[in-house]
Structure 1
Amino acid sequence: MANKDELTRMEVCDTIHVEQSHPSIRDPEIQVDQTHAEIYREALQLFPDDDSIDKATERKLRRKLDWHILPLLGMCYFFYYVDKTTMSYAAIFGIKDDLKLHGTQYSWLSSVFYFGWLIWSIPSNLIMQRSPPSWYLSINIFLWGALLMCQTAAGNFTVLVVLRVLSGAFEAIADPAFMLFTSMFYTREEQPSRISAWYAWNGIGVAGGGLIGYGIGQIQGTLPAWRYEFLIIGALCASWGIVLAFLLPNSPTTIRNFTHQERLMLIARMRHNQTGVEHHKVEWYQIKEALLDYKTWLFMLMGFVSAVPNGGISNFSTLVIKGLGFDTLHTALLGIPQGVLVSIWIGLGALANHYMPPNSRTLVCAAFMLPTIAGALGFLLAPADAYVGRLICFYLTGSYQASFVICLSLITSNTGGHSKKMIVSGIIWFGSCIGSISSPFFYKTSQAPTYHLGIGSLLVSNVIELALFFVLRSAFKWENRQKEKKRATLQDTGDIKNSREALNITAFQNLTDKENPNFVYCY
């Protein structure tokens, strides 16, 4: 007969082995996704605790995983950001005159993109939970590229509005999908640097968009340059969507080019997260919990205030730079250092977080808000003829990207339960949509080329974001103190034990961060 430890491990993927008298921990309706239950059981039998995983072997496995995941997500993010800047480059290539845009119509073209995103973001997240995530992401990338190509043929404002709304709907899944893949394959300690690695391609996208824009500006064809901008970038995006379907894995259990034992180690490594890995059934009680959790709405506010600067800069950066006295082609080229600096900021943020003591993420986020606040102040207060100084200040405003990247890792690390993760991820980007919709209207045509109200909105948003990092830090510390009291009570009554079996039992259950007694928030 099997001994008690063996029986406990066999039960790990079937049920939560604690007393039913505590419904917050033990609910008979909560079941682990059985699609790959056997491989999860095998992983915990082979690697029953973290000490059983050889560190050198794990480092080698992590490097292999990085090469299989990060370049793919990075390239996605490159196209994702280049796609969003096409309207910005179309503006300096004559789209306003060709389509006879007037008043706030250009601002509306920048904003309506996010209406599609706003409407479809949460439904799209729930569809992705029910689908193979890499295939769902690939289909959406192909469709947003196809719709971008369709914008080439737009002959008036109305047609372009419809196409922009549809494009926004298909792009709604991008950021939540990237966060899902990061939380699915990497431990909580690894997530900040990995999110930084793929998000840094945002900066490469800014620089690449400038280089592509400069090249497109040289085309002497039968079409206006702005139409080539949509056609060429749309074709590249659609092609990448097809390639991605064959390369990006759907889960650690099915990842190609990894041995069976490597897959088992990939799974066992994730025990420490206590957030589960893959569950395809939508749990409505988790959605309710997400909507009633105050942290969800703090994340949404964070998404909003971070998007106000980002939405304005992505659509008006070329007009701001051109307003400093540069011609069209030099304006396109000056987008390159802006993108390079964004990547540098993100890299510095990842390094700072890596070398700081544990639970320093919110402090790192706060530190990287200071350069962008200084840059916005400098841009607003510098003399009108200080073109170089104001350009440098404008470049400094990109440092907030490093803060937002580390903040994303707070969301992936501090949300348990698959349905709850999907809805919280959707809600932060819901907030981001609202910020992106509103931000272009701060850049009034009458204030060109200084756009004082637009830069002012960036400054105010950054100050609020800075304060939010300290609010989140206090909230997570308070939540951990409550968790410690709850664990102590349950240990005193014998309902849970401080053992490796207890950690294994809750590691891959579809438990939310509130339900799981072994969950610890990081900050």
Structure 2
Amino acid sequence: MTKARREKACVLQNHLPPMDVTKEAEVTTQRHPVPRTVAEKYADVTLRLIEDHGDDFGPLTPEKEKSLKRKLYLNIMTLISATNIILFIDKSTLGYAAILGLFEETGISKDQYNNLNTFFYVGYLAAQWPGHYLLQKLPFGKLVASIIFLWAVIILLHCVATRYAGLIVLRLALGAVEATIVPAMEITIGMFFNREEQAFLQPIFWLTCLGAPIVAGFISYGLLWSNISVLPWKLFMITTGGLTLFLALWAWFRYPNNPAEARFLTLEEKVQVIKRVHGSNQSSIEQKQFKKSQFIETLKDPVSWLFTLQAFTLMYSNNLTYGQQNLLTTSLGVSELGSTLVAAAGGGFGVALCIIAAIALKLYPRNLAFHSLVWCIPAVAGGIGMVTVPWDRKLALLTCLLLAGHTYGIAYIIALGWTTSSAAGYTKKLTRNVMFMLGYSVGNLVSPQIWVPAAAPRYYGAWISMIVVSWVGTPVILFVIHFILARRNAERLAWIAELSEEEREAGRVEQRDEDGQIVTRKVNIAMLDLTDMENKFFIYPL
């Protein structure tokens, strides 16, 4: 039977006849499981592999599962962690350039410096939807590698920009090419790891984000000792750009599109990875068709807008860490050389806190909103210290600065993972990611502008607004999300409890051959690429 001569559909088992397989599934609401027919092109891209080989292998033994996890950690987590640390070093290049001679060579003012930080996120904002569309339509791994290569080139081009106008163009371009890297890495984690592993791996993965200042700090410290004619800020761009080029080559050959196409996995391992993820997440792994119904559902879901709002509120304070910290440190009397070591120490402090957060999430995986609150409280304390401690108490102020700048980031890590894990349906996940990153971008657009030069060195307005908007407002929003999802879970669990065993059976794949005969096979309901609102068996992580 050739592919051209057969019609194939995925059907959620029920007592009604199948709907037209040429149409995208429509959302209905009933007491019993919703009848669903989806054309093959709308099903999970891993469907064919599971159909052909899903029954070839037995259950995953504990020994094989341990071996599989080690392989995933080595190949997936190592690569995306390296990508993440280079990403956040590159994000902070302007902050380090500020103490490495950028002002002296380019002649820019403090206001123009703040504007350059804002222009980065103008590009970041503009590229969100086009970038996510390409993530869905093009080969995932090759697109990620190509994006990394482009951002390496743009970082290197900073060396020839000695005027404000040139720097504007480069910051816009850098923001645009980096716009979808974080969502791409989050999607990759969701493709290869089950829900329990995702909650634990998120802080481990983001250690590289919080640890980026350690690497960048020591690089800039070494460059300040250079005695050649090229200014240290250009050497910093060359160093980070070269590292990014190496990363692009690594990603080109090793970044997978999805588990079914991961070259480092055996056939059995591919099948087991897909089954583990589907069984835990009740959601598809990858789907190449844009579904209008899922897009509309995302816009109608209040949870999507709440995640967008909290992304804005938290990122309202983000320029503190990635644009202002080095300048604030030198304003406290620390030398430029010493400020690089302070940045490295701050990164080490952030890494230690992230390890603690990972252990806490491993031991207590529920109550994500409460975990986020815990890590915003130290930021509130640090912010209060920055506006109340006398200016002559430099060590106390430096401590408050590090406390405020290196704790709230853990709340961002938790919220970013929760944004994706609380949605099902590939188009819905991508759309919610776009919304989250739009909020993230707007927050970062505003963040540099609250540091008004006339308010230096205390910046009372900036600190007070960050305390209220970012470190108090964000946990409040996350607790509202928790309340909504908990209520949905309670309704679903009560509904599931009323179902018979027959009604809880898996979905089915129907193949209609050229003679009109139907061959039926059971599949996991996650293969149907339903959204969390369509699939009432989906239980939200809390």
What's the TM-score, normalizing by structure 2?
A: 0.88
Shift of 1:132: 1.7
Checking the alignment, whether the CA contact within 8 Å between 1:349 and 1:402 is kept in structure 2 is yes
Equivalent of residue 325 in structure 2, options 291, 307, 317: 317
Tell me the amino acid that sits aligned with residue 463 of structure 2.
Answer: I
SS of 1:126's equivalent in the other structure is helix
Residues of 1 paired with 2:185 and 2:463: CA distance?
29
From the superposition, tell whether residues 334 and 115 of structure 1 become closer, same or farther in structure 2 (CA, over 3 Å).
same
CA distance in 1 between partners of 2:16 and 2:290 (Å): 23
Please name the residue that 2:530 is paired with: 511
1:67 to 1:12, Cα distance in 2 relative to 1, 3 A: farther
Residue 12 of structure 1: how far off its partner (Å):
11
* Aligned amino acid, residue 464 of structure 1: G
Cα shift readout 1:287-311 (whole Å, capped 9, x = no counterpart)? 1111111111111011111212223
Bigger mean CA deviation after superposition, 58-67 or 31-40: 31-40
Q: Which residue of 1 aligns with 2:37?
A: 28
Q: TM-score, normalised by structure 1?
A: 0.91
Deviation for aligned residue 1:27: 4.1
Q: 1:444 aligns with which of 447, 452, 459?
A: 452
Note the aligned Cα RMSD (angstroms). 2.3
- Provide Cα deviations, 1:66-98, integer angstroms capped at 9, x if missing partner: 111111111111111100111011111232232
Shift of 1:454: 2.7
Superposed, 1:487-506 pairs within 5 Å as 487=496, 491=499, 497-499=503-505, 504-506=523-525
Counterpart Cα distance in 1 of 2:503 and 2:151: 50
* Deviation sequence 1:142-186 (CA, Å, 0-9, x none): 101101111111121111101110110000011100110011011
1:29: how far off?
Answer: 4.6
Question: Judging changes above 3 Å, is the alpha-carbon distance between structure 1 residues 143 and 415 closer, same or farther for their aligned structure 2 residues?
Answer: same
1:41 to 35, 48, 51: 51
2:512 is matched with which residue?
A: none
The one-letter code of the counterpart of 2:287 is H
Query: Contact conserved, 2:44 with 2:529, CA < 8 A, in 1?
Result: no
Correspondence 1:135 to 2:145: no
Q: What residue identity is the alignment partner of 1:297? A: W
Please give the residue correspondences for 1:3-402 in structure 2 after superposition, counting only pairs within 5 Å.
Answer: 14-18=10-14, 23-24=27-28, 25-29=34-38, 31=40, 32-33=42-43, 35-42=45-52, 44-45=54-55, 52-102=59-109, 104-270=111-277, 271-356=279-364, 358-397=365-404, 398-402=406-410
Decide whether aligned partners of structure 1 residues 517 and 214 sit closer, same or farther in structure 2, where only a CA change above 3 A counts. Answer: same
Structure having the higher helix fraction is: 1
In the TM superposition, residue 504 of structure 1 has moved relative to its aligned partner by 4.6
Corresponding letter in the other structure for 1:93: L
Structure 2 residue identity aligned to 1:440: P
| SS of match in other structure, 1:139 | helix
Cα displacement string for residues 11-58 of structure 1 (whole angstroms, at most 9, x for unaligned residues): 99833333559943334355444754331225643579xxx4323321
Which residue identity is paired with 1:349?
Answer: A
- Percentage of identical aligned residues: 25
Candidates 403, 408, 414, aligned match of 1:406: 414
Specify every segment of 5 or more residues in structure 1 that has no aligned partner in the other structure, as ranges. 1-10
State the SS of the aligned residue for 2:73.
helix
Residue pair 2:420, 2:429 contacting (<8 A) in 1 also:
yes
Shift of 1:456: 2.5
For the Cα contact (< 8 Å) 1:353–1:360, is it kept in 2? no
One-letter amino acid of the structure 1 residue matched with residue 534 of structure 2: E
Change (3 A) 1:240 1:477: same
The structure with more strand, counted as a fraction of residues: 2
Equivalent in 456, 465, 468 of residue 474 of structure 2: 465
Structure 2 CA distance for aligned equivalents of residues 124 and 344 of structure 1:
33
User: Mind listing any 5+ residue stretches in structure 2 that lack a counterpart?
Assistant: 1-6, 18-25, 29-33, 509-521
Change (3 A) 1:156 1:477: same
| CA pair 107-245 structure 1, distance change in 2 beyond 3 A | same
Distance 1:386 1:18 in 2: 71
Contact 2:45 2:286 in 1 (8 A): no
Counterpart AA for 2:359: L
